[in-house]
Amino acid sequence: MMKFRFRRQGNDPHREKIKQDLFAFNKTVEHGFPNQPSALAYDPKLQLMAIGTKSGAIKIYGAPGVEMTGLHKDTAAVTQIHFLYGQGRILSLLDDNTIHLWEIVQRENRSHLVEVHSFSLPGRPGIESTSATRVTVMLLKLSCDLLALGTEGGGVHFLELPTLTLLNKSLFQDEIMQSVPEEYKCGKSLGPVESLQEHPQDSDKILIGYSRCLVVLWDLNSRHVDNLFLGKQQLESLVWERSGNSFVSSHSDGGYMVWAVSSSNPCTHDPISSTVPYGPFPCKAVNKILNEIRFHFILLFSGGMPRASYGDRHCLTILQDSSRVTLDFTSRVIDFFTIHCTDKDKEFDDPSALVVLLEEELVVIDLQMAGWPTVPAPYLAPLHSSAITCSCHISNVPPKLWERVISAGQQQCPLQNYEVGELKDPIQKPKTSAFFPHALCCHEDGTVRFWDASGVSLKPLYKLSTANIFQTDCDHNDSLTQAGEEEWPPFRKVGCFDPYSDDPRLAIQKISVCKYSGKLVVAGTAGQVIVLVLSDEKSDHMIDVATVDLLQDREGFTWKGHDRLPPRSGSVVFAPGFQPVVLVQCMPPAAVTAVTLHAEWNLIAFGTSHGFGLFDYHRRSPVLARCTLHPNDSLAMEGPLSRVKSLKKSLRQSFRRIRKSRVSGKKRAFPLRSSSCLPQVQEHDAEVAPVQRRIEPRSADDSLSGVVRCLCFADTFLRDGTHHGPTMWAGTNSGSVYAYALDVPSQEKFSEQSVEALLGKEIQLMHRAPVVSIAVLDGRGNPLPEPYEVSRDLAKAPDMQGSHSVLIVSEEQFKVFTLPKVSAKTKFKLTAHEGCRVRKVALSNFTSVSSEDYSENALVCLTNLGDIHVFSVPALRPQTRYDCIRKEDISGIASCVFTKTGQGLYLISPSEYERFSLSARVITEPLYQTGYYVVILSGLLDEMRSALSSPVLDSPNSSADVTLDTTGELTVEDVKDFLT
C-alpha cells in the first residue's frame, strides 16, 4: 500500500504518442441564432450576409456550412455594419463610437476574418461635448473609396478607404444653414444626421437627412446644395427611387412622403404625396423604409402601427398597389434588406426576397410568389423558439430512420425540400457515410425538435408536439383563428419564435430514444412519461393511460405542488411522425429527473424526486414502483411549490457542512450494503494517491436525497457468475444504487407473461454523494451495446465469458465494482474541498488519427469548474484535462451534452450551442477552405421559392472528396484577388 501511495507515473513516450493521436481539444463551431443581434449587412456581389451582436461579434454567413466569426477586442455593441462590395472587407461601428475595418484573409489554406484598421472620430475644436461627434449613420459609397459619417451634432465627415484616413472636407451645419430659408431656421439646429444616401445615378451627390426633417442633396465636388426639401415631421429614414428622380422619407408620426428631385425647383416645401398608412389616429414611427420597382411599386417599411391599439406589436408592412400585408413578429425588428437586381442598366429592381433580422430569428419572405409566403432559411433557425429545457445527441442514426424523420418533417412543412438532386448547391453531400447524427432539443412548450447535426449549421428536420395529448388552459390556435378577414391592419403571424408556454407543466425534462426501433420516450415537468412510436401514416386513436404511485400510499404525505396534466378523452388525430401509444403518469406528479428505454425488452424506467418505476409498455402494466425518500426529505414530500423548508433549517445545514469540512482527516467508514450478504469495503482516505483528492462525507438528512439521478438497463451477471440476464440499475441523490434482476419473457411470450423485478443488490456509497451515472462493462471492459445492435449485426457481441463490472460515477468519485459480487475493483477520487463536483459524464469512443483500426473507450467528465477530464476505462487512469467552460457559466455547464464520438455541445446563450471536440479525429468545422463555394441567399434564390435550404453537409474531415463546380461563381479565391 505504501508503494502505491508514493508511486509516480512515468512518461511513456509510446503512450504519449497514442494519447496525442486520440485526444485533442478544439472549440469548433457555434450552432444556432446569434444572441442579441444588433446590426445586419448584405453584399450582393459576393452574396454574403453579416450579423453584428451586442457582445461585439461579427458573424459572416455564406452557403450552408460556410461561416466566419470576428470578435472586437472591446465588448461593445455593434450598431452598424457595411460590406465593401466585392472586396471581402466589412466596416463596423461600435457603441463606443469606434469604427473598425475587417478583411477576409487566407491563413493556412483557410479564410479568417481579421481586423486590420480602426478609427475614432476626434472632437471638433471648441466643442466640449463628445456627443456632437457621435456617429449616427454611415454611408459607404458604391465605389468603396469613401466613407461618409453623419453625427449627432449634424456634421458629416469623410474617410478615405481602406485606410480610414480622415479627409479635410467635413461638412457642418453652419455651411448648410446658409442655404436654408430664414423662415425655416427658427434659431434651432437641424438636429442629428438621420440618413445618408448616395444618388443612384450620380455618385458625386449624396442625400443628407436631418432629424428636423430638412433633407439636402449635396454635391461633393462643388460643395454646393443642389436641392432643399423642407419637411415638417421628424425624419427617420430616406431611400432613393432607382432613377434618382424621387426619393421616399419616413417619419416619426407613422407616415411617409414621396419627394420629387428637380433642378428647376431647388427648394421644395411640399412632397408629391404624404401618407400615414395606419392613421388617422397617432401612430408609432416608421423606422426604416424601402421602395422597389418590379413592374409595380413595392413599399416595405417597419413600424408605423397605431399607438393606442397596436403600439406593442413588432411589424413590417409590404405594400403593392391594393395588396397589403402586415407581418406580425414576436420579437423586435433589427433590420431588413431585399435581394434585388443591382445592375444600374436594368429598368427594374426586380426584388425577389425580403430578409428580416429579428431579435430572436431570421425570416425570409418570397416577394415573387403570390401572397408573399415565408420560406425556410438555409440556416439560423432559432433553436430557442421555445425555451430549451434539455438536449440529446444521437450518433449514427440509421438511414431508414433518417429518411422517415425527414419525410415526417416534409409533411409538416411542404416548402422544405431535402432531396439532393433537385438543388444546385455545388457542395454535394458525401456519399460514403451510411449513418447520420441527430440533435434533439426539448422545450418548455412540450415540443421536441429534431435537428441535423452533421454540419456546421443545425438544420431543422421535424417537430414533435406533446401538447395535443393533454387538456390545457389555453388552445394553441385560439388567437390565430379569431382573426377575421376584415381585420385591420391585415396582420399575419410570421416566424416560429414563441417565448410563451401555454402551460409550464408541458415542459420536457428528459428524453430517451431507440434509433433502431423508432421508439421514443419523453418525460415532463408534471410527472408525465409518454411512449411514442414512429409511424409513416396519419392516425386517429385513443391513448392508453396508466398511473404509477411511486410512494405506494405512503402515510403522512401531502403533495402541495402542481396538479397532473389531464389527458384528452376520446380519439386524437396524429400526423405522420412520432405518435404516442401510452401515457404513464407518475404520482405524485413531480418533475421526471431520469428516464431510459429498452426497446427489445419493451420496458421503460423513470424516476422523480420521490422514487423510480418500471413499466412494461407492451402489456401496458407497471412492473415496479420504489420510494427512495428519506423521512427527512420534507421539501420533496411537500412538493416544489412548498414553503416548508425554512431559512433556519437551511442555515443549520450550511453550518453543519462547514463544520464537517474543517474536521481532521479521520476516516468515517460507511458500510456497503446489498440485499445479499456482501463484505464491507473499507476505504482509507489517508492513503490516497497524490494525484487524487479527498472526499467529503455527507449527512443522510440532506434535503432531496431521494431524487433519482440516473437509470440504466443492462444484460449482465447479478444473481451469480454463470447466468446473465436483464437488469435495471437506479442511482439516487444520496449515493444509493439499486440493482434489480428482471425476468423478461421471450418475444413470443410477451403477450402471455409479465415482466418481474427482484431486488438483487442495494449499494450505499460511503461518501453519499449523488450518483451521476451507472454503466455496465463487459469482460473486456467495453460498454455494453445498445438494444438491437448485436441482433442486427451493427456491433460486436459483448464478452459474456469474463466477469462483468459496473462503473458508478458520483459527484465526487468514480468506482468500478466487479459483478456479481459487487466488490470494489478500482476507484478515482476527483473531488476536493475547494468544491469540485462531477456534473456530466459519458462513455465515448476515440479513434486514432493515425490508424482507423485503433480506438479506445474513455470516460469523459465535466466538472462544476468547467474543466473536462478524460479517463481510461476500466482502469480509470487520467489521460488528459482541458479547460472548456467558464466556471461562472452555470447554465452552460448544466446544458452540456457529450456525444459517443468524443464531441460535445453546450449552451453559450439561450439561442446558441458551442460545439467542441475532444477527439483528434472527429472534428466538425466550417467549410471555408480556399475554393469552397461562398454564396448565400441570392445564390440560392431559385431554391428559395421551393425550399431555401440545402441538403445536409457532413463534416469536411470526411474521407470523401468534395468536388465543386464553381464555374461562373465567386469563390474565396476570387475574394483574395480583390484583396490583392
pLDDT given for residue 637 in this prediction:
55
Q: Name the helix (H) or strand (E) containing 605.
A: strand 603-607
Q: Tens of pLDDT along 345-401?
A: 777 778 889 999 999 999 999 998 888 999 888 888 899 999 999 999 999 899 999
Q: Cα separations (Å) of 929 from 455, 458, 532, 861? A: 15, 20, 42, 33
535 has pLDDT over 80? yes
Per-residue pLDDT at 686 exceeds 90: no
R_g (Cα) of the chain, nearest Å = 32
Pairwise CA distance, residues 69 & 33, whole Å = 13
- Helical segments of 142-186, H only: 173-177, 182-185
For position 440, what pLDDT does the model report? 84
Q: Rounded CA gap, 17 and 13, in Å? A: 6
- Taking the C-alpha atoms of residue 320 and residue 302, their distance in angstroms, rounded to an integer, is 15
pLDDT of residue 634: 58
The strand order across the sheet containing 205-210 reads 193-198, 205-210, 214-219, 224-230, 267-268
- Report CA dihedral (568, 569, 572, 578) to the nearest 10 degrees: 50
Burial profile 321-360: b = 16 or more Cβ within 10 angstroms, e = fewer: eeeebbbbbbeebbbbbbbbbeeeeeeebbbbbbbbbbbb
The single-letter code of the amino acid at 580 is P
State how far the Cα of 975 lies from the Cα of 935, in Å rounded to an integer: 12
- Is residue 678 pLDDT above 90, yes or no? no
Q: Would you state the cell numbers that stand for residue 949, as one nine-digit string?
A: 435550404
Residue type, position 203, single letter: S
Check whether 514 has a pLDDT greater than 80: yes
| Cα–Cα distance for residue pair 77/39, rounded to 1 Å | 9
With contact defined as beta carbons under 8 Å apart, do 475 and 459 qualify?
no
Residues 6 or more apart from 166 whose CB is under 8 A from it?
119, 121, 122, 157, 158, 159
Q: How confident is the model at residue 694 (pLDDT cuts 50, 70, 90)?
A: low
Q: Which residues contact 302 (CB under 8 A, 6 or more apart)?
A: 286, 287, 288, 289, 315, 316, 317, 333, 336
Report the share of the chain in percent with pLDDT over 70.
Answer: 81
Q: How many CB atoms lie within 10 A of CB 2?
A: 7
pLDDT given at position 663: 43
Indicate the fold that domain 132-275 takes in CATH: Methylamine Dehydrogenase; Chain H (2.130.10)
For residue 10, the model assigns a pLDDT of 59
Enumerate helices (H) and strands (E) in the chain, giving the number of each.
12, 61
pLDDT, average across residues 553-573: 87
How much is the pLDDT for 66?
A: 81
Q: What is the DSSP string of 691-750?
A: TS-------TT-TTTT-EEEEEEEEEESS-SS-EEEEEEEEETTSEEEEEEEEPPPGGGT
Give the DSSP per-residue string, 634-697. HHHHH-TT---S-HHHHHHHHHHHHHHHHS-S---------SS--PPPP--GGG--TTS-----
Q: How confident is the model at residue 747 (pLDDT cuts 50, 70, 90)?
A: confident
Question: Rounded CA gap, 457 and 949, in Å?
Answer: 11
Residue 507's Cβ-count burial label (10 Å; 0-12, 13-18, 19+) is buried
Q: What band does 968 get if pLDDT is binned at 50, 70 and 90?
A: very low
Confidence at residue 625, expressed as pLDDT on a 0 to 100 scale: 93
Residue 425 is predicted with a pLDDT of 31
Enumerate the domain spans of the chain.
Answer: 34-120, 132-275
Chain segment 887-936, per-residue pLDDT in tens:
999 999 999 999 999 999 999 999 999 999 999 998 887 754 333 333 33
Q: Where do we find the cell 408541458?
A: 506
pLDDT tens figures, 136-195: 999 999 999 999 999 999 999 999 999 999 999 999 988 998 888 888 877 678 899 999
CB 581 within 8 A of CB 544: yes
Q: What is the mean pLDDT of the chain?
A: 83
727 CB contacts (<8 Å, ≥6 apart)? 713, 714, 715, 716, 718, 739, 740, 741, 742, 760, 776
Helix, strand, coil content of the chain in percent (nearest 5): 10, 40, 50
The phi and psi torsions of 938 (rounded to 5 degrees) equal: -70, -20
Please report which confidence band the pLDDT of residue 294 belongs to, taking 50, 70 and 90 as the band edges: low
Q: Is the pLDDT of residue 422 over 80?
A: no
Length of the chain: 980
pLDDT for res 972: 40
What are the phi and psi torsion angles at 527 (to 5°)? Answer: 75, 15
Contact, 700 vs 768, CB < 8 A?
A: yes
> What cell numbers appear for 388 in the block?
430549451
C-alpha cell at 245: 428622380
Judged against a pLDDT cut of 50, whether residue 687 lies above it is answered with no
Give the CB-side neighbour count of residue 525, counting CA atoms within 13 A. 21
61 by Cβ neighbours in 10 Å (0-12 / 13-18 / 19+) ranks as buried
Edge-to-edge order in the sheet of strand 903-909: 23-32, 912-919, 903-909, 897-898
The dihedral over CA atoms of 208, 212, 214, 219, expressed in degrees to the nearest 10, equals: -30
Cell of 503: 402551460
Residue 341 has, within 13 A of its CA and on its CB side, a CA count of 11
- Cβ-count burial 597-609 (b if 16+ within 10 Å, e if not): bbbbbbbbbbbbb
Q: How far is the C-alpha of 906 from the C-alpha of 285, rounded, in Å?
A: 40
**What's the pLDDT score for residue 423?**
25
The average pLDDT across 820-849 equals: 88
Burial class (CB in 10 A: 0-12, 13-18, 19+), 653: middle
Q: Is 180 exposed, middle or buried (0-12, 13-18, 19+ CB in 10 A)?
A: middle
DSSP of 220-273: TTTTEEEEEEE-SS-EEEEEE-TTSSEEEEEETTS-EEEEE--TT-SEE-S-SE
Is the confidence at residue 980, as pLDDT, over 50?
Answer: no
Give the SS3 label for residue 423.
Answer: coil
Mean pLDDT along residues 549-567: 87
What pLDDT score was predicted for residue 816? 96
Structural contact between residues 89 and 949, judged by C-beta atoms closer than 8 angstroms? no
Residue 106 pLDDT class (50, 70, 90 cuts)? confident
- Distance between CA 880 and CA 18 in Å, rounded? 12
The CA distances from residue 925 to 81, 299, 899, in Å, are 25, 40, 16
pLDDT band at 662 (very low <50, low <70, confident <90, very high): very low
Phi/psi zone of residue 950: left (φ > 0), alpha (ψ -120 to 50 degrees), beta?
Answer: beta
Segment 211-230, tens digit of pLDDT? 998 999 999 999 999 999 99
